[in-house]
Amino acid sequence: MASSFNIDTFTSKLTRGGALASLFQCDITASHGAKGSMADFTFMCKGVSFPASTIEAATVTYMGRALQIPGNRAAAQLTTSVYNDENMDIRNYVENWMEKINSQKSNIRDSGFIKMSGDTNKSYTGTMVASQLKKDGTGSSKSYKFHNIWPSTCPEIPMSWDTNEIQTFDVIWEFSYWSSVESGAGV
């Protein structure tokens, strides 16, 4: 049995050595009504996942045979992992943003948060761009833009005498849709 294995053929397919998961940048343009700052989010966001693209199947039956046809896009969430600084600037901003969307005490939305998108001074959403960076420093090879993004979950931060690591926390974001110029999706 002849083998078609050739390492040179394989490595020739990894253009520029392949994309590195550690070379990314995540920028956010957030709600202007929340207190605090997201200025350092680009540096403190230590992880993000490019979105899944899922079209749910709809089942149609014809003469007892089930057929799968394309249905609607599945709703998705985006999760970012963030380093926590001692001032907790990003966490405070996210908590305040969530408070303005729906107050823990009064169960009402801030009167300034009246639009989902548009005028950023009255919008309760923002925009996030996650980019895969090139190894040669010449920009990004792919970017996803998340439209009308808002935080839905800001989970706990465990603390323990058993660790000496910098705190991290995840933020789960909801969004209306994503777009990518490189693939032509959502544009």
Query: Which residue segment(s) compose the domain that 117 sits in?
Result: 20-50+67-179
Q: Does the residue 12 lie in any domain? A: no
Q: φ and ψ at 100, to 5 degrees?
A: -75, -30
Confidence of residue 29 (pLDDT cuts 50, 70, 90): confident
Angle at 37 between CA 34 and CA 39, to 5 degrees: 135
Q: Does the residue 128 lie in any domain? A: yes
pLDDT at 95: 93
Per the structure block, which two tokens stand in for 78?
């985006």
Confidence of residue 98 (pLDDT cuts 50, 70, 90): very high
Q: Which residues pair with 140 in a beta bridge?
A: 133
Run of H or E including 97: helix 89-101
pLDDT at 60: 94
Q: Does the residue 1 lie in any domain? A: no
Q: Does the residue 35 lie in any domain? A: yes
Q: Does the residue 14 lie in any domain? A: no
Exposure of 38 in the CB half-sphere (CA atoms within 13 A): 22
**Tens-digit pLDDT profile for residues 34-82:** 776 788 899 999 999 877 888 999 999 999 999 999 999 888 899 999 9
Q: Does the residue 185 lie in any domain? A: no
Q: CATH number of the domain at 24, please.
A: 2.30.110
| Predicted structure pTM score | 0.83
**Tens-digit pLDDT profile for residues 121-172:** 678 899 999 999 999 989 899 999 999 999 999 999 999 999 899 999 999 9
Q: Does the residue 58 lie in any domain? A: no
pLDDT at 84: 94
Q: Does the residue 2 lie in any domain? A: no
pLDDT at 3: 66
Rounded to whole angstroms, the Cα distance separating 24 from 133 reads: 5
Angle at 141 between CA 138 and CA 144, to 5 degrees: 125
Nearest alpha carbon to residue 154 among 34, 54, 59: 34
**Tens-digit pLDDT profile for residues 99-120:** 999 999 999 988 888 777 765 6
Number of domains into which the chain is organized:
1
